[in-house]
Amino acid sequence: MLKPQTTPTRELVNLDGVWRFATDPMVGDAPWAATLPGSLEVAVPASFNDQFVDPAIRGHVGLVWYQRNVRVPRGWKDERIVLRLDAATHAGAVYVDDTLVAEHVGGYTPFEADVTDVVTAGGEFRLTVGVDNRLTNITIPPGTVTTGPDGRQKQSYLHDFYNYAGLARSVWLYSTPSRFIEGVTVTTGREGANGTVDYRVEASGTVRVILRDADGGQVTAGDGANGRLVVPDATLWQPGAAYLYELEVQIVEDGAVADTYTLPVGIRTVEVTATEFLINGEPFYFTGFGKHEDTAVRGKGHDNAYLVHDFELMNWIGANSFRTSHYPYAEEVLEYADRHGLVVIDETAAVGLNLGVMGGLTGAPATPTFSPEGCNDQTRDAHAQHLRELIARDKNHPSVVMWCIANEPASNEDGAREYFEPLIELTRELDPTRPVTIAEVMFATSENDKVADLLDVICLNRYYGWYVATGDLETAAQYLEMDLRAWADTHGKPILMTEYGADTMPGQHSVWDVPWTEEYQRDYLAMHHRIFDRIPSFVGEQVWNFADFETSLGIHRVGGNKKGVFTRDRRPKAAAFALRERWRGIGNSKPGAED
Ligand code: GCB
């Protein structure tokens, strides 16, 4: 699905702002049919939860209602008119006045509705969106809703971040001509010094494409809906040195341009060998973080100031990459990464497909994850649909170098292979150009894991020195090294550490190895780096987490997860300075490797 944009043939109205709001118990049967009752208002884009003081609103489980009036530009009389929501977490139903125009399940991918027939240019309509935050065993991510004795619903889930919900990304009304460009796919390659851009356009009519360089100069052009463009002496998109060409796609009718859409294109290649991750044929060593979309008050709401600041901090610390843990991020984030040369591992929202974790943490007998009551065929169908939408949205971003199709599933349990094999195949079918991975939970070992041979890169989440061998970095180092060597020997694939980290209270200090202190976080990371540097097939390190973030409350969390190298308001802990020294020193190369 193309991200809406303004072009000579398309116009765009942003519908962000302060909307009317109500939770389901506050409204009658058909809340879209009239102005919402009450006086609550809510900011869009932002999760609704932390905007309110009333705990019944913050923790509401079920539907909430967003509403505003929208005026259609009067010049859009002969245009096709589309309503687009960048996300409704986790499901949305959209009404234009009394008409249901779109329904969508999945909280982190966009959806839209052609509303040409139900709105009038120059007229006004009432836009109402019902947003449902419930997670069940057949949603991605999964969860469980139970009803208490007082009839109130309670949501539980197995992922370690707060279930923020609502309209956390922008809402748009846009126009296209009636004959329009529906989709564009580009894949890039290299032939000696030349770059290649293979393009495929979905559109009815005669298609013409023009490729321009970063200064706007025409490089080459092509006719037809499919083709290959050759870029002589191409400037490549490189980690840390982004270069973007611009592909202008046109539908031409009777010599005139009927529709036009412009896509930034970075020419680069990605390949994986037994020991290396290659970008443009060069070994690339990942440094950086697993992140979250998480800030105070906004929850998961996209915020451009935090976008810029987070990338500034990543640049300051010398990070060259991040993982969109544990869900697809706002498209603005990927566009920024494209422009600034940050490398992205793009992750689905399939987090918490692991019923064994609870057993492991509480000592209770583990429930089988892949079972009719757990993750079943319907869950897998939802997961497949989520993959289709993610890849359709993000396939053209040069910054995205790998798909991570799940975080810490029970890949060691029976049924994991049957669940994942078709999804891995689907991912490769949808995008044959990028490697595929899963971030592996620590219960999955090189011996008991059932899916690793299907993956291109082994991504490991490990907490030696934190959940295991807490406060004992010496023992932790031994466990870590044994674990990594076993994976290297068993699979002969590149290994990337996608999580390692220690909860840290800023301001807590000690001369000893004391968990929660700033020194312990720093030394814990340094211990890991000593071991990483000894493993030849090691291709990168992403610390958990970039910043502290909100979680559901429980006995394991005090004011959220504190494994951030930065606090939730982005102040550095001591580890930040140590990471900066290491990462700025190694750049994009494996430590100890010859340049
Ligand atoms: C993990 C999860 C991540 C958690 C982290 C932790 O393994 O992937 O979502 O936040 O551990 O801090 O426990």
Atom of ligand 1 nearest to the CA of 551: 10
Residue ending a domain, among 232, 265, 298, is 265
The answer, yes or no, to whether any atom of ligand 1 lies below 6 A from the CB of 354, is no
Is the domain of 225 the same as that of 156?
no
Residue 105 shares a structural domain with residue 226: no
Residue of the CA atom closest to atom 5 of ligand 1: 160
- The predicted pLDDT at position 555 comes to 80
CB of 420 sitting under 6 A from ligand 1: no
- Residue 308 DSSP label: H
Whether residue 332 lies in the annotated active site: no
Last residue of a domain, one of 176, 196, 214: 176
- 3-state SS record for 105-147: ECCCCCEEEECCCCCCCCCEEEEEEEEECCCCCCCCCCCEEEE
159 upstream amide cis, omega within 30 of 0: no
- What is the pLDDT at residue 297? 98
Query: What is the 165 CA–ligand 1 centroid distance (Å)?
Result: 20
The Cα 248–Cα 255 span in angstroms is 16
> What gap in Å lies between CA 262 and CA 584, rounded to an integer?
35
Q: Quote the ligand 1 centre to 555 CA distance (angstroms).
A: 15
Q: Is residue 5 part of a domain?
A: no
Give Cβ neighbours of residue 189 (< 8 Å, ≥ 6 apart).
195, 196, 198, 267, 269
Q: What is the CATH number of the domain that holds 533?
A: 3.20.20.80
Task: Provide the pLDDT for residue 360.
Answer: 58
Residues 570 and 434 in one domain: yes
Same domain, 198 and 309: no
pLDDT recorded at residue 358: 64
Q: Are 340 and 196 in the same domain?
A: no
Query: Quick one: pLDDT at residue 554?
Result: 76
Of 121, 156, 176, at which residue does a domain stop?
Answer: 176
- Crossing angle of helices 377-394 and 331-340, in 10° steps, is 50
Enumerate the H helices of 492-556 as residue ranges. 518-532
The pTM assigned to this predicted structure is 0.97
Q: Look up residue 541 and give its amino acid.
A: E
CA-nearest of 510, 504, 503, 483 to 495 is 483
Q: Please check whether residue 425 lies inside any domain of the structure.
A: yes
- Give the position, in ligand 1's atom list, of the atom nearest the Cα of 408: 8
Q: What is the pLDDT of residue 595?
A: 43
Residues 519 and 487 in one domain: yes
CA–CA gap between residue 368 and residue 374 (Å, rounded): 7
98 and 219 belong to one structural domain:
no
Q: Which helix (H) or strand (E) holds 425?
A: helix 416-430
Q: Which residues contact 447 (CB under 8 A, 6 or more apart)?
A: 486, 490
Is residue 407 in contact with ligand 1, taking CB distance under 6 Å?
Answer: yes
**Residue 362 falls within a domain, yes or no?**
no
The single residue of 499, 518, 519, 550 carrying the catalytic annotation is 499
DSSP 170-229: -EEEEEE-SS-EEEEEEEEEEETTEEEEEEEEEESSEEEEEEE-TTS-EEEEEESSEEEE
Q: How far does the centroid of ligand 1 lie from the alpha carbon of residue 160, in Å?
A: 6
Q: What is the residue-level pLDDT of the chain in tens, covering all 595 positions?
A: 899 999 999 999 999 999 999 999 999 999 999 999 999 999 999 999 999 999 999 999 999 999 999 999 999 999 999 999 999 999 999 999 999 999 999 999 999 999 999 999 999 999 999 999 999 999 999 999 999 998 889 999 999 999 999 999 999 999 999 999 999 999 999 999 999 999 999 998 999 999 999 999 999 999 999 999 999 999 999 999 999 999 999 999 999 999 999 999 999 999 999 999 999 999 999 999 999 999 999 999 999 999 999 999 999 999 999 999 999 999 999 999 999 999 999 999 999 999 887 655 666 667 899 999 999 999 999 999 999 999 999 999 999 999 999 999 999 999 999 999 999 999 999 999 999 999 999 999 999 999 999 999 999 999 999 999 999 999 999 999 999 999 999 999 999 999 999 999 999 999 999 999 999 999 999 999 999 999 999 999 999 999 999 998 778 898 999 999 999 999 999 999 999 999 999 999 999 754 4
- 491 in helix, strand or coil? helix
Same domain, 288 and 406: yes
Please, are residues 269 and 245 in contact by the beta-carbon 8 Å criterion? no
Q: Identify whether 277 is part of a domain.
A: no
Range of the domain at 52: 11-176
CATH number at residue 201: 2.60.40.10
Number of structural domains the chain divides into: 3
In sequence order, which residues have a C-beta less than 8 Å from that of residue 84 and are 6 or more positions away? 4, 110, 111, 112, 171, 172, 173, 174
Query: Which domain CATH number covers 16?
Result: 2.60.120.260
Q: Are residues 544 and 508 in the same domain?
A: yes
pLDDT of residue 356: 80
Which of the listed residues 461, 466, 497, 558 should we mutate to test ligand 1's pocket, taking the one with most ligand atoms within 8 A of CB?
Answer: 461
445 Cα: distance to centroid of ligand 1 (angstroms):
17
- Kindly state whether residue 451 falls inside one of the protein's structural domains: yes
The CB of 294 under 6 Å from ligand 1? The reply is no
Question: Does residue 377 lie in a domain region?
Answer: no
Is 429 an annotated catalytic residue? no
166 with 193, same domain: the answer is: no
Q: Are residues 68 and 55 in the same domain?
A: yes
Tokens in use for 1? 């699905």
Does some domain include residue 228? Answer: yes
Residue 371 lies in a domain: no
Q: Is 544 in the pocket of ligand 1 (CB under 6 A)?
A: yes
Judgement on whether residues 22 and 37 belong to the same structural domain of the protein: yes
